[in-house]
């Protein structure tokens, strides 16, 4: 069994599956070309039935099925399979869609003109022949190829225990590289790659990157990423489409379109509305029409990732070299071809030399006969038969005085001159007997002399070729140039320096996300557009499904392509892109952070920071850390650029302490800290106040001195404004007076709002506030432009906005000042958060039972720092607000009516979601079921 298997394996390797490096052909292709040449199916003859050629090949040389022979013949006729076609086919030879060719009885074929460069001179003893399978015919072991066909047309095959997969290359470039290697045998791979930058596929496309090409050219193995050529076009006024005009090599166009359609139906690729094939005789054109809201670049990247619009050609340049399988690089293949072609030229020259010498030898005999014509005629007339005449001519010694220079001229070794006499050989005697009388004329005698001179010149040229390697290289160069003029075509495949491996991020549709984290460590992201804005005092909608008594502890708004840093209770930092976070519906609980960050262990995430999307901004930014115990620390953001998957030590924490906030800042800005017991402090970021720490293992310095039972819960970075205490006081009097006047004019009329307005100073002071101070109108406008507004919210859903000027800048480490008055338990027992807001934006509030509301900031009045605020979120008796965060992009309200912010269908959807996902939530208090509340 072993011997039989090995014999079979060697037969497949040598005689079936692997191409020969010399002519680049496998046996079946070689036999097809040779049989068609023998049958006269050349490019200058009419087309003949393919079945005729297949029959000749099968009967004489290839004892296998006709289908395998016809399939090989068809492939050599397909322009999308061969870089230079070797068969000129007429009829249906298949298509790039994978359509089968017509039966061989319907198609016609002949050799292409380029095939002559592989077959020419085969009758001149340029290659070895071997018996066919039944020893009734002879077939060539290899064709005398005049160009490196292995590189030009490539090859693919699977043998026993090995396989080959060689890409096609541009014929002009391959020949130029061969010429360069002939000119400079010491040329390096880099020199050759300047001429052949990479494969050139008949279907075009784009090769992404050069690393795989270099590896393949150097070692014979490599992976070449290929990508279709696609452009984004405007097909209608409001519609765009991705138009594919070239696809990667060996990709079935019809199968590709089916795959795209399947992915669209499975919603793995979104944004595609239609796919159609508009290919015609002018070229390929696949139109992938997009939906109105689709991002073309993202859809295209998804197509590259999930379909064969981008694929890789695995190069394995394995070929037979001297009958043995060998993996070869670019230089090895060219060197093998040059050696082979030189041998072809040498054998051909020897064959031609023998032929020319034979002709010259005959011409010498004719010259002798013409010089002695009378004696020759008399001898022939006296002979009884031709044999006697031939022997008489050979027996007589003829005068060599006239022919000795000719014999020396043609290097004739057949005649030996002795004592000035020469004897004719049998070949010469036969030639004389066959001499026609017309050759005896004077003109014909001159022609014999001229032909003899030409023979002498030809013999000298052939001897020079045989004896000189340099001369053989010149002949090879000339023949390569002739082949180049016939088969060279422009490059079809573009080589791009860009890498083909697009990042996963390029597949993600850009957009804003709401990231939600629960107390038990579950995280998710939800598209921002799902949450619509409501008026303040609304009922909100469900933000997350709860598991047991789990509650939402942190939520923020971020772009899908932003980095998010996670800071654990153990003082470690982790980093992840927003799009990598699990996406879920508003009612889903999300995914456990321990699964997203496997090295988190038993620690919990205590602070989360969304970093700027553009990493160039990181160089000028610092990070400020704040802990619950009131400590702060400043580090450069660049210290956290490289974070391993296992995390990075971010801050050393004292026992029982935890991170409550991390924010980006710049030199000269202000740090604002707020506590649960409504205390706050503001101090400027300078090297004297808060220096930059070089290490990450420090616990920092004191930021605010806390009372017993109090802890920091908010960290904000404010812009520093150079204004005196008097200027800030004057500005606040004027600005607050104007705001109170506007609020009184626009009050909705509720008892709560009227009470708030009435408790402040009267609106009549609004016009007198600036005049009563030393503040000019210009300075007032300047301070107004730099003013920041802080929103403070209590756990009972009450809140108010206050000017940042209300908080004076003091030194670090003090007890701070009051942030809000908490005298009425109904309005809150502690502050949930304090954060800066901008008009035109929204804020979201989340409760411990998973309800969420989105409120426009403009609906929250700006009041004095000590005010307890107005109702922002109506919560249940046992329900508490646990988190508040700003929304960067406001979608606006859904209705013009100030009393109703959601449409009836939206309210029904929200109620259904709450019923389905919050069955274990505590029931609402009776006082919270007013008609206005249910409408909101």
Which residues have a catalytic role annotated? Answer: 106
- Tell me, rounded to whole angstroms, the distance of Cα 160 from its chain centroid: 34
* Secondary structure of 418-453 in HEC code, one letter for each residue: ECCEEECCHHHHHHHHCCCHHHHCHHHHHHHHHHHH
**Structure tokens of 644?**
């391993």
CB 598 within 8 A of CB 546: no
DSSP character string of 586-622: TT---EEHHHHSGGGTT--EEEEEEPPSSGGGGGG-E
- Maximum Cα interatomic distance, the chain, rounded to a whole number of Å: 157
CB 661 within 8 A of CB 714: yes
β-pairing verdict for 206-208 and 494-496: parallel
Q: Kindly report the backbone phi and psi dihedral angles of residue 578, in degrees, each rounded to the nearest multiple of 5, phi listed first.
A: -60, -40
Of 495, 502, 509, 492, residue with least CA distance to 304: 502
Burial per residue of 253-264, b for 16 or more beta-carbon CB atoms within 10 angstroms, e otherwise: beebbebbeebb
Element spanning 803, H or E: strand 798-803
How far apart CA 501 and CA 382 sit, in angstroms, is 93
CB 631 within 8 A of CB 703: yes
Q: Kindly report the backbone phi and psi dihedral angles of residue 567, in degrees, each rounded to the nearest multiple of 5, phi listed first.
A: -115, 125
Element spanning 682, H or E: strand 679-684
Element spanning 902, H or E: none
CB 349 within 8 A of CB 341: no
Of 75, 492, 56, residue with least CA distance to 245: 492
| 283 DSSP 8-state letter | B
CB 320 within 8 A of CB 20: yes
Contacts of 399 (CB under 8 A, 6+ apart): 371, 372, 420, 421, 422
């Amino acid at each position: 069994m072993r011997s039989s298997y090995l014999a079979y394996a060697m037969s497949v390797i040598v005689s079936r599956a692997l191409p020969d490096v010399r002519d680049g052909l496998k046996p079946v292709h070689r036999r097809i070309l040779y049989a068609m040449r023998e049958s006269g199916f050349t490019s200058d003859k009419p087309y003949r039935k393919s079945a005729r050629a297949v029959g000749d090949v099968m009967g004489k040389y290839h004892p296998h099925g006709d289908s395998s022979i016809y399939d090989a013949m068809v492939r050599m006729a397909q322009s999308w399979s061969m870089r230079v076609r070797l068969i000129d086919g007429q009829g249906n030879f298949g298509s790039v869609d994978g359509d089968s060719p017509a039966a061989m009885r319907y198609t016609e074929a002949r050799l292409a003109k380029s095939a002559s460069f592989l077959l020419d001179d085969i009758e001149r003893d340029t290659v070895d022949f071997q018996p066919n399978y039944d020893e009734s015919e002879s077939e060539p072991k290899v064709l005398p190829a005049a160009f490196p066909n292995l590189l030009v047309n490539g090859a693919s095959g699977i043998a026993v225990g090995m396989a080959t997969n060689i890409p096609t290359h541009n014929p002009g470039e391959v020949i130029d590289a061969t010429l360069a290697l002939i000119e400079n045998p010491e040329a390096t791979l880099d020199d050759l790659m300047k001429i052949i930058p990479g494969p050139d596929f008949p279907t075009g496309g784009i090769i992404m990157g050069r690393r795989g090409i270099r590896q393949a050219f150097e070692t014979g193995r490599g992976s070449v990423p290929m990508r279709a050529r696609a452009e984004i076009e405007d097909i209608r006024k409001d519609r765009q489409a991705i138009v594919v005009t070239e696809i990667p090599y060996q990709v079935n166009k019809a199968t590709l379109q089916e795959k795209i359609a399947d992915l669209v139906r499975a919603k793995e690729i979104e944004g595609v509305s239609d796919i159609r094939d508009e290919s015609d005789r002018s070229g390929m054109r696949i139109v992938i029409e997009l939906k109105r809201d689709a991002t073309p670049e993202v859809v295209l990247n998804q197509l590259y990732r999930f379909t064969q619009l981008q694929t890789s050609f695995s190069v394995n340049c394995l070929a037979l070299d001297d009958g043995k399988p060998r993996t070869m690089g670019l230089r090895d293949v060219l060197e093998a071809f040059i050696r082979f072609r030189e041998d072809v030229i040498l054998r051909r020259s020897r064959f031609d030399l023998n032929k020319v010498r034979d002709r010259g030898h005959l011409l010498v005999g004719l010259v002798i006969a013409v010089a002695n014509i009378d004696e020759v005629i008399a001898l022939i007339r006296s002979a009884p038969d031709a044999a006697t005449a031939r022997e008489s001519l050979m027996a007589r010694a003829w005068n060599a005085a006239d022919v000795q220079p000719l014999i020396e001229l043609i290097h004739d070794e057949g005649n030996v001159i002795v004592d000035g006499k020469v004897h004719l050989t049998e070949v010469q005697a036969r030639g004389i007997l066959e001499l026609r009388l017309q050759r005896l004329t004077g003109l014909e005698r001159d022609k014999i002399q001229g032909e003899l001179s030409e023979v002498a010149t030809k013999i000298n040229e052939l001897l020079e070729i045989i004896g000189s390697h340099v001369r053989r290289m010149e002949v090879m160069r000339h023949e390569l140039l002739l082949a180049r003029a016939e088969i060279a075509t422009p490059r079809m495949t573009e080589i791009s320096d860009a890498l083909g491996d697009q990042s996963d991020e390029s597949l993600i549709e850009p957009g804003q996300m709401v990231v939600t984290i629960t107390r038990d460590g579950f995280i998710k992201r939800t598209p921002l557009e799902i949450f619509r804005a409501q008026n303040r005092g609304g009922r909100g909608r469900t933000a997350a499904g709860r598991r047991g008594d789990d509650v939402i502890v942190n939520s923020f708004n971020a772009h899908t392509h932003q980095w998010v840093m996670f800071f654990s209770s153990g003082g470690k930092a982790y980093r992840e892109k927003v799009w990598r976070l699990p996406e879920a519906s508003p009612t889903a609980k999300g995914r456990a952070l321990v699964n997203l960050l496997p090295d988190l262990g038993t620690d919990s995430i205590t602070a989360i920071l969304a970093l700027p999307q553009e990493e160039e901004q990181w160089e000028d930014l610092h990070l400020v850390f704040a802990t619950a115990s009131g400590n702060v620390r400043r580090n450069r953001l660049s210290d956290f650029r490289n974070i391993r998957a296992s995390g990075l030590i971010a801050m050393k924490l004292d026992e029982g302490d935890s991170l409550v906030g991390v924010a980006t800042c710049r030199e000269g800005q202000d740090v604002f800290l707020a506590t649960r017991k409504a205390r706050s402090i503001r101090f400027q970021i300078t090297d004297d106040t808060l220096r930059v720490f070089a290490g990450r293992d420090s616990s920092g310095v004191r930021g605010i001195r806390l009372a017993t039972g109090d802890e920091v819960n908010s960290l904000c970075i404010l812009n520093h404004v150079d204004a005196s205490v008097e200027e800030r006081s004057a500005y606040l009097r004027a600005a607050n007076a104007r705001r109170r006047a506007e609020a009184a004019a626009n009050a909705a009329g509720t008892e709560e709002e009227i009470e708030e307005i009435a408790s402040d100073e009267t609106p009549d002071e609004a016009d007198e506030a600036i005049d009563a101070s030393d503040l000019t109108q210009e300075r007032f406008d300047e301070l107004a432009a730099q003013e920041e507004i802080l929103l403070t919210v209590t756990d009972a859903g009450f809140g108010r906005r206050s000017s940042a000027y209300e908080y004076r800048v003091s030194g670090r480490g003090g007890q701070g000042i009051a942030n809000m008055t908490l005298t009425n338990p109904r309005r809150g027992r502690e502050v949930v958060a304090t954060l800066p807001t901008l008009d035109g934006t929204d804020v979201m509030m989340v409760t411990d039972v998973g309800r969420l509301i989105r409120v426009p900031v403009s609906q929250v009045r700006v009041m004095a720092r000590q005010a307890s605020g107005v109702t922002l979120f109506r919560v249940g008796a046992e329900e508490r607000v646990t988190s508040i965060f700003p929304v960067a992009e406001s979608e606006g309200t859904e209705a013009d009516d100030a009393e109703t912010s959601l449409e009836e269908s939206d309210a029904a959807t929200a109620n259904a979601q709450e019923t389905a996902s919050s069955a274990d939530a505590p029931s609402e208090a009776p006082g919270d079921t007013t008609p206005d509340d249910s409408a909101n």
